[in-house]
Amino acid sequence: MVNTTLNLTKDKIKSFLDGLRTRLLVKTEHETEVNDALSKHTLFPRHQLELAFIDQIVMECLSENVKEYRDKTQALDGKLPCDLILAESSQAKNRKLACGTPIWTHGHPFYKALVSNPSDLYKRWSGKNPKKHAVFAAVAPDIALLAPFRVVFECKYFNQPGRQIATSELVGGLYQTFFYRAMPAKPAGAGGLRFGWDYEYACFLAYDATPTRRLQQAWNDLKETRERFWDDGNIYVMILPRSNAVA
């Protein structure tokens, strides 16, 4: 028997993420506005555009989207958006756009990277890694949404030339997004997690700053399988192209 309640919930989550995508597309419609927003990021060097993109654009749009949902549905007990959003960035918390961090400091046996050296992993597990890394690496997604839907986000700012680099970045980003979504659930307080860990859905959110939309094209070329990332993997893919790119 089909679980219609689950399907309805998933439809609502998709609708929420569709709305976020629309809001981000409006925010990034003009390249000069994107650059102006990124230039306000004073905590990090200018070349770290990914951090600036998350702090100055993604966090603000997500906050606005949560507020709009709260006001339309009269849900969330009137809480502020920042009470429902976690962010790895300390600046997001300082700007009152997030209430805490999604980082799981106790870590996980495996890396978020797609390729891992088995020998290095074994040494790490045994505590004999020469670089003195933690036995289990911390798990640190960029953003996590606690309500109205529990969704974890992996964000990227892509501006590298070449199709092969684009496909590699796409695969790596999607794998990281899956890695975070696949982490086992933890109750609040367990493993150093103030808010617990229970994200059945994930979003890969990337800004494609290349003049020829390399990353977006790599995703578009998966025309036979794109829908299955959401249908079968609960992974929503959101790639935002620069407005003056050559299609």
Q: Do residues 38 and 153 share a domain? A: yes
Q: Do residues 167 and 64 share a domain? A: yes
Q: Do residues 176 and 210 share a domain? A: yes
Give the H or E element holding residue 219: helix 214-220
172-186 pLDDT, tens digit per residue, is: 999 999 999 999 999
Look-up of token digits 């367990």: 190
Q: Are 57 and 37 contacting, i.e. CB atoms less than 8 angstroms apart? A: yes
> How many structural domains compose the chain?
2
Q: Do residues 169 and 229 share a domain? A: yes
Distances (CA, A) of 169 to 12, 105, 147, 162, 196: 29, 25, 29, 11, 29
Q: Provide the H-helix boundaries in 113-237.
A: 118-125, 163-181, 214-220, 226-231
Give the H or E element holding residue 6: helix 4-27
Residue range of the domain that includes 119: 106-139
Return the sign of the alpha-carbon dihedral for residues 64, 69, 70, 72.
positive
Candidates 183, 104, 178, 177; CA nearest to 137 is 104
Residue 209 falls inside a structural domain: yes
Q: Do residues 49 and 134 share a domain? A: no
Q: Do residues 78 and 161 share a domain? A: yes
77-106 pLDDT, tens digit per residue, is: 989 999 999 999 888 888 899 999 999 888
Q: What is the pLDDT of residue 2?
A: 39
Q: Do residues 72 and 148 share a domain? A: yes
Residue 159 falls inside a structural domain: yes
Q: Do residues 128 and 227 share a domain? A: no
Poorest-confidence range of 61-65, 73-77, 120-124, 212-216? 120-124
Residue 246 falls inside a structural domain: no
